[in-house]
């Protein structure tokens, strides 16, 4: 390959790379307040015109969460996102979150158009569980009931007997264990170990992990608790066992928010993605929330406690998708109908559990 020198002495090919990089930086530069207002106004108009509703996860940007709330959409955990999208009368669901959330919406609402700000937002758990390898594993243990986390591809869900989210995983496995079932669990090993510990179920665990939660460190957490002795520790069950052992509350994102609202503590140390702080501060404005430490005593490198794929969701990308109809999620009808059964099982189980808790069954 030949490279020409330009007047600055820089190789032309290098200059192209720098230009391309700058173009990308310019594209992702933060929007001014005026641009944000214009973008939001345009999105609101398009949502109305397209009979669309915005469903956002707690880990997405605060701008997207506020937009979902302002437009009658939903900000919630993965279970409620799935339920709300299915029950909504909108013909288009715009899902701000990661790929598996868009796919789940597609499976549960085959007649709706599902758009996402980006289709590139994946999840380390989904990546860690390729459908072909998982199917081989299940085939090798045919006497096991297959329970998979919602953070998986449609193809993995299609191979499962049950799909669960973190808010209902313990209840479902408890129910299966009571029937003497042996269980294959995938893909999150920390959540799997936590469920196994809580239920005593006979479980084979897949070896995936969440790159965000795996970084929370027990040693740092103990030091932090010494500084804030009255703070309660709230942790998502994707965190390592050493962190969960010292947590006061372990739960899904919604369960974490509920605990923060209900507990009397004024301070909380939170071991989950920091995107949740927007909702936590909204729901309990008089309380103080601190992010759990992501570095141990000897570590020098801290993670940011923010999912890089959730962070790919932006106002501009959302606007682009609504304007052009791009980033439409699709799951083949054959795959969707196979993945629907284990998802429906979870939704039915969750509805029955709610009735039981409310004393109506």
- Residue ranges binding ligand SF4 (CB under 6 A): 98, 123-125, 151, 210-212, 238, 273, 307, 309-310
Closest approach of ligand 13P to the CB of residue 47, in Å: 23
Closest approach of ligand 13P to the CB of residue 196, in Å: 19
Closest approach of ligand SF4 to the CB of residue 123, in Å: 3
Other CB atoms within 10 A of residue 16 CB: 12
Closest approach of ligand SF4 to the CB of residue 78, in Å: 9
Task: Return the residue of 104, 113, 124, 151 that touches ligand 13P, per CB under 6 A.
Answer: 151
- The residue (of 15 and 122) whose beta carbon lies closer to ligand 13P is 122
* N- to C-terminal Cα separation, the chain: 74
Closest approach of ligand SF4 to the CB of residue 245, in Å: 20
Tallying the residues shown for the chain, one arrives at: 361
Q: Which does 309 bind (CB under 5 to 8 A by kind): ligand SF4, ligand 13P, none?
A: ligand SF4
Closest approach of ligand 13P to the CB of residue 357, in Å: 18
Closest approach of ligand 13P to the CB of residue 58, in Å: 6
- The residue (of 279 and 287) whose beta carbon lies closer to ligand 13P is 279
Q: How many residues bind ligand 13P (CB under 6 A)?
A: 10
- The residue (of 212 and 284) whose beta carbon lies closer to ligand SF4 is 212
- The residue (of 39 and 82) whose beta carbon lies closer to ligand 13P is 82
Question: Within 2-61, which residues bind ligand 13P (CB under 6 A)?
Answer: none
Binding mask 249-268 for ligand 13P (x = CB under 6 A): ---xx---------------
Give yes or no for residue 126 binding ligand 13P (CB under 6 A).
no
Give yes or no for residue 78 binding ligand 13P (CB under 6 A).
yes
Q: Which does 166 bind (CB under 5 to 8 A by kind): ligand 13P, ligand SF4, none?
A: ligand 13P
Contacts of 6 (CB under 8 A, 6+ apart): 12, 15
- The residue (of 181 and 345) whose beta carbon lies closer to ligand 13P is 345
Question: Within 200-219, which residues bind ligand 13P (CB under 6 A)?
Answer: 210
Distance (Å, whole) CA 186 – CA 113? 29
Closest approach of ligand SF4 to the CB of residue 258, in Å: 19
Give yes or no for residue 88 binding ligand 13P (CB under 6 A).
no
- The residue (of 39 and 247) whose beta carbon lies closer to ligand 13P is 247
How buried is residue 357: exposed, middle or buried, by Cβ count under 10 Å (0-12/13-18/19+)? exposed
Other CB atoms within 10 A of residue 163 CB: 31
Q: At what angle do helices 315-324 and 62-70 cross, to 10 degrees?
A: 50
Task: Return the residue of 190, 238, 278, 340 that touches ligand 13P, per CB under 6 A.
Answer: 238
Give yes or no for residue 314 binding ligand 13P (CB under 6 A).
no
Output Rg (C-alpha) for the chain, integer angstroms: 22
Q: Which does 165 bind (CB under 5 to 8 A by kind): ligand SF4, ligand 13P, none?
A: ligand 13P
Residues at the interface with ligand 13P (CB under 6 A): 77-78, 151, 165-166, 210, 236, 238, 252-253
């Amino acid at each position: 390959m030949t490279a020409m020198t330009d007047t600055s002495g820089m190789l032309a090919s290098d200059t192209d790379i720098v230009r391309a990089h700058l173009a990308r930086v310019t594209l992702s530069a933060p929007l001014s307040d005026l641009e944000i207002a214009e973008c939001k106004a345009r999105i609101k108009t398009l949502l109305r015109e397209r009979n669309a509703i915005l469903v956002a996860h707690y880990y997405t940007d605060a701008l997207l969460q506020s937009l979902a709330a302002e437009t009658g959409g939903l900000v919630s955990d993965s279970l409620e996102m799935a339920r709300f999208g299915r029950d909504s009368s909108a013909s288009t669901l715009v899902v701000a979150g990661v790929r598996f959330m868009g796919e789940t919406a597609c499976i549960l609402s085959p007649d709706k158009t599902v758009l996402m700000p980006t289709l590139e937002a994946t999840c380390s758990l989904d990546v860690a569980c390729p459908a072909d390898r998982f199917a081989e594993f299940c085939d090798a243990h045919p006497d096991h009931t297959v329970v998979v986390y919602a953070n998986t591809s449609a193809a993995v869900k299609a191979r499962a007997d049950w799909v669960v989210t973190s808010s209902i995983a313990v209840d479902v496995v408890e129910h299966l264990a009571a029937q003497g079932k042996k269980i294959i669990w995938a893909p999150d090993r920390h959540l799997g170990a936590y469920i196994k510990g809580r239920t005593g179920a006979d479980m084979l665990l897949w070896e995936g992990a969440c790159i965000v939660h795996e970084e929370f460190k027990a040693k740092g957490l103990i030091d932090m608790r010494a500084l804030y002795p009255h703070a309660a520790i709230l942790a998502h069950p994707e965190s390592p066992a050493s962190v969960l052992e010292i947590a006061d509350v372990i739960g899904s994102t919604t369960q974490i928010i509920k605990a923060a609202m209900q507990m009397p503590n004024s301070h909380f140390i939170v071991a989950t993605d920091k995107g949740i702080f927007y909702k936590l501060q909204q729901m309990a404005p008089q309380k103080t929330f601190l992010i759990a430490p992501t570095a141990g005593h000897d570590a020098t490198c801290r993670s940011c406690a923010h999912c890089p794929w959730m962070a790919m969701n932006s106002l501009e990308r959302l606007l682009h998708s609504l304007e052009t109809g791009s980033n439409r999620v699709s799951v083949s009808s054959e795959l969707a109908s196979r993945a629907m059964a284990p998802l429906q099982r979870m939704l039915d189980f969750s509805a029955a559990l709610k009735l039981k808790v409310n004393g109506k069954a």
